[in-house]
Chains A and B, each alone.
Chain A
Amino acid sequence: MKKTLYRLLQTSMFVAMASIWLFSCKPKISDQDIETKIQSNSALSHLAVTVKDGVVTLSGEAKDEADRTNSEAAVKSIEGVKEVINNTTIAPPPAPAPVEIAADDPLTKGIADALKDFPTVKATANDGVITVTGETTAANWKKIKMALDGLKPKKVDATALKIN
């Protein structure tokens, strides 16, 4: 009886030892390893990362929705990552550049070129605003307006222009 108990204990000990040996054979990936792997990926360098027990939390500003999902997928594919908590936000689009307005000197020169064939129309530039006076046909005014808009004025004011 005592011998059987001893044998049983011996067997279970062996099983326990074997399982420890088997588990330790599989390399254990630490949180630090995961973090190092993420940090070495330049595509993820703009995001902040914390790792705890194989759960990765991503935060910071992603460039867009695609960047957000791609980053998550890249982290998920790293060995040892059990879960990704994606707390990233999407960066707002950059503000558009202010409109470039030409100075009065190039505008005045451009006006002279544009109006050369339309002697009944006059125009002046002041602080970027082109003021058009005189009279012309609707068809000619369209051509003039197309030319003047190409000079990068602040505004083309033709309220004083008479259209025949």
Chain B
Amino acid sequence: MALQDKYKQLVDTATASGVANLQVREQDGVLYIDGEAPSGSVKDQLWDIYGKIDPNFLTGDVVMNVNVATAVAGAKAKVTTEKSNLNIRKGPGTDQPIVGKAAHNEIVTLVSKANDQWWLIRTDAGEEGYAYAQYLTVQ
């Protein structure tokens, strides 16, 4: 239970901010935090708190897998790359051929999810394929 004490603020914030299906499990010296945040800003807030308790996430005693609940089929997402275009691929993986690009800051439609990492998206120009979810921010 020691880890739950160390990361109490993180778990308490997750509970208070309405993270759904929240699961906090300690196993073999690692605290696993899973759930669905009601918004992207709640997810960001949780990562900020985690980074304050464990600067630069270097202790390796937490695996936090919190997704954003609004990321559902039909949702609009903004391409939040640093500045480059986002590759749209034929399948879910960087080993898959690129079939299109979405511009930085472009708004695309989430068609479905292959998994938490790869989402099938469609651009307004009609290009459809898989993009890396980390560069998509649901509106």
- A pairs with B: yes
A residues with CB within 8 A of B: 96, 98-99, 109-110, 112-114, 116, 138, 141-143, 145-147, 149-159, 161, 163
A99 touches B27 (CB 8 A): yes
Partner of B95, one of A98, A112, A156, A161: A112
Partner-binding segment picked from B12-20, B59-67, B71-79, B104-112: B59-67
C-alpha gap A149/B116 in the complex (Å): 11
Q: Lowest 5 A-B CB distances belong to which pairs? A: A99-B32, A113-B94, A145-B57, A157-B60, A116-B94
A149 touches B56 (CB 8 A): no
B58 sits at the interface (CB 8 A): yes
B27 touches A155 (CB 8 A): no
Residues of chain A within 8 A of B63, CB atoms compared: 149, 152-156
Supposing A151-B117, A158-B58 touch, asked if A113 and B25 sit within 8 A by C-beta, the answer is no
B60 touches A158 (CB 8 A): yes
A142 touches B51 (CB 8 A): yes
Q: Binding site of A, secondary structure by majority: helix, strand, loop or mixed?
A: mixed
Please report which residues of chain B, range 58-102, place their CB below 8 angstroms from some CB of chain A when the two chains form the complex.
58, 60, 62-65, 67, 93-95
B28 sits at the interface (CB 8 A): yes
Interface residue tally for chain B (C-beta within 8 Å): 25
A112 touches B27 (CB 8 A): no
B134 touches A147 (CB 8 A): yes
> In the complex, which of the residues B23, B57, B62 has the most CB atoms of chain A within 10 Å of its own CB atom?
B57
B residues with CB within 8 A of A: 23, 25, 27-28, 30, 32, 47, 51, 56-58, 60, 62-65, 67, 93-95, 116-118, 132, 134
A34 to chain B, nearest CB (A): 42
Can you give 10 A-B contacts (C-beta < 8 A)?
Answer: A96-B23, A98-B25, A110-B117, A113-B132, A114-B117, A150-B116, A152-B65, A158-B58, A159-B58, A163-B58
Residues of chain B within 8 A of A152, CB atoms compared: 63, 65
C-alpha gap A151/B118 in the complex (Å): 11
B56 touches A138 (CB 8 A): yes
B60 touches A142 (CB 8 A): no
Residues of chain A within 8 A of B132, CB atoms compared: 113
Residues of chain A within 8 A of B47, CB atoms compared: 142, 146
C-alpha gap A149/B23 in the complex (Å): 14
Chain B residue with the shortest CB-CB distance to A129: B60
